[in-house]
Amino acid sequence: MILFISDLHLSPRSPGATALFLDFLAGRARQARALYILGDLFEAWIGDDDIDDPFNARIVAALRQASDAGLAIHLMHGNRDFLIGPAFAAAAGIRLLPDPYDLTLPEWSFVLSHGDLLCLDDTAYQAVRARVRTSEWQTRMLARPRFLRRLIARYFRWRSRNAPRVAYADLNPAATDDFLRDHAYATLIHGHTHHPETHDHIVDGIHVERWVLADWHEDRGECLAWDGETLRREIVRPENRP
Ligand SMILES: [Mn+2]
């Protein structure tokens, strides 16, 4: 069994969602052999030197415990936590994945992504994305003192909450078709848009599925479970506590 989750947006300000995730990691996830977290595990990540923050330390310890118990945890960057680096991966016992990532299993082929790289219609966002993903920008950012990075992260969260936005940008259809073609018509699993749905694409006459993961809330999370034959959605609720 392989599980996929995305967009947990963990933060000290969402204790319910954090508890739900920690329970999931200690319970349901232990029945799987691998867990793929497809970005935005954290609402914000200001650098691996912040691992000693008490909230972050709790999450790292829980990941480490699950990993030590035999769960292979893979993590992809989202647009909120793209500063997660090798020190975090080593402390948490997880593996960082590139975006996109081709997951080729004996039974089926998947391609995993956070999803934001295909939201090309949001040109303002894509401009910011291109800038903050350069090593120059990241080196400069990580050299700033932590309090300043916290302020900057808070400002970005405030700005994204208050941005005048007609609708949450969705994936660009033509770019998505090209992407699916480039990835040999593998089943695409992604998050980011917070619009959980299973889409059918016909690319070059081939039927390709695109599964969009839901984001997590105080009382509800979601995972996709692959048992070697079928992919299905599972709701994660507080009452499912082991
Ligand atoms: Mn995102």
Ligand 1 ion: Cβ-proximal residues, 5 Å cutoff = 40, 78-79, 192
> How far apart are the CA of 115 and the centre of ligand 1, in A?
7
> How far apart are the CA of 52 and the centre of ligand 1, in A?
24
> How far apart are the CA of 168 and the centre of ligand 1, in A?
11
> Which amino acid, 102?
D
Distance of alpha carbon 101 from alpha carbon 212, whole angstroms = 16
CATH number of the structural domain spanning residue 176: 3.60.21.10
- Measured in Å, how far apart are the chain's first and last C-alpha atoms? 18
State the DSSP code for 238: G
Q: Domain of residue 232: give its range.
A: 2-240
> How far apart are the CA of 68 and the centre of ligand 1, in A?
28
Written as six digits, the tokens of 182 are 């480039």
H helix or E strand, kind and range, residue 21: helix 15-26
> How far apart are the CA of 126 and the centre of ligand 1, in A?
12
> How far apart are the CA of 37 and the centre of ligand 1, in A?
12
Give pLDDT tens digits along the chain (242 positions): 999 999 999 999 999 999 999 999 999 999 999 999 999 999 999 999 999 999 999 999 999 999 999 999 999 999 999 999 999 999 999 999 999 999 999 999 999 999 999 999 989 889 999 999 999 999 999 999 999 999 999 998 888 777 665 556 799 999 999 999 999 999 999 999 999 999 999 999 999 999 999 999 999 999 999 999 999 999 999 975 54
> How far apart are the CA of 26 and the centre of ligand 1, in A?
24
Distance of alpha carbon 106 from alpha carbon 90, whole angstroms = 28
> How far apart are the CA of 205 and the centre of ligand 1, in A?
30
Helical segments of 79-134, H only:
86-92, 123-132
pTM tops 0.85: yes
Backbone angles phi, psi at 95, to 5 degrees: -115, 130
User: What are the DSSP calls for 32-56, one per residue?
Assistant: SSEEEE-S-SBS----GGGTTSHHH
Our count of domains for the chain comes to 1
